[in-house]
């Protein structure tokens, strides 16, 4: 057992972990931030996506010890300081970018990573960037639309609502 400390959404969190403890487990069970969802646990669905030192990663495919000392942002860190929805979250609500909501934390974290790299992506670039995130409800159209809207672009010509 090893002691690790990381910053999660600006709060320092310490805990004792085994070598095999996944970052997703640490976030959910030690930090209590259960907004990070574990969907497939095989690194395919992307529901567990978080940012580690600014880079998006699948937290079920990284060990907690590997994030020792890191700065981690999860979906709980995406809201505004007053608790209201952040821009990307609000766009998902406005454009019905979710149905059951299970994949949404990963989708929002991925969208945030994309918009940091590429503030005005094309629809094609959004779809390409979402290649590691699966949604089984919406067929992706409204997710893409929400991300385009969050980037401040006109989305009136994009299919589906």
Of the candidates 17, 81, 88, the one whose C-alpha atom is nearest the C-alpha of residue 49 is 88
Q: Which stretch binds another protein (CB under 8 A): 43-51, 71-79, 88-96, 144-152?
A: 43-51
Task: Provide the minimum distance between the beta carbon of 109 and another protein in the complex, in angstroms, as a whole number.
Answer: 9
8 to 27, contacts with another protein by CB under 8 A? 18-20
Q: Compute φ and ψ for 160, nearest 5 degrees.
A: 70, 140
- Residue from the set 12, 84, 131, 157 that interacts with another protein by CB under 8 A: 131
Picking from 20, 58, 61, the residue whose alpha carbon sits closest to that of residue 36 is 58
Q: With binding defined as CB under 8 A, does residue 110 bind another protein? A: yes
Contact present, 109 and 50 (Cβ < 8 Å): yes
57 binds another protein (CB under 8 A): yes
Binding of residue 65 to another protein (CB under 8 A): yes
Question: Residue 157, Cβ neighbours under 10 Å: how many?
Answer: 6
Distances from the Cα of 137 to the Cα of 10, 103, 104, 117, angstroms: 32, 9, 11, 27
CB-wise, 63 or 140, nearer to another protein?
63
Q: Smallest distance, Å, CB 59 to another protein?
A: 9
Q: Does 42 bind another protein (CB under 8 A)?
A: yes
State the DSSP string of 92-119: HHHTT--SS-SSHHHHHHHHHHHHHH-S
- Does residue 114 touch another protein according to CB under 8 A? yes
Give me the residues that bind another protein (CB under 8 A), please: 2, 18-20, 41-43, 46, 49, 55-58, 61-63, 65-66, 68, 110, 113-114, 129, 131-133
């Amino acid at each position: 057992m090893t002691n690790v400390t990381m910053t999660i959404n600006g709060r320092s969190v310490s805990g004792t972990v085994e070598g095999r403890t996944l970052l997703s487990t640490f976030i959910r069970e030690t930090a209590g931030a259960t907004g990070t969802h574990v969907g497939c646990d095989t690194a395919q669905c992307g529901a567990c996506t978080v940012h580690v030192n600014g880079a998006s990663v699948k937290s079920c495919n990284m060990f907690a010890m590997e994030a020792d000392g890191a700065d981690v942002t999860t979906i709980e860190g995406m809201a505004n300081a007053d608790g209201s929805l952040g821009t990307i979250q609000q766009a998902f609500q406005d454009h019905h970018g979710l149905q059951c909501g299970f994949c949404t934390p990963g989708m929002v974290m991925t969208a945030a990573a994309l918009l940091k790299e590429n503030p005005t992506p094309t629809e094609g670039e959004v779809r390409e960037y979402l290649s590691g995130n699966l949604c089984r409800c919406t067929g992706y159209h409204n997710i893409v639309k929400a991300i385009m809207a969050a980037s401040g672009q006109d989305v009136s010509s994009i299919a589906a609502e």
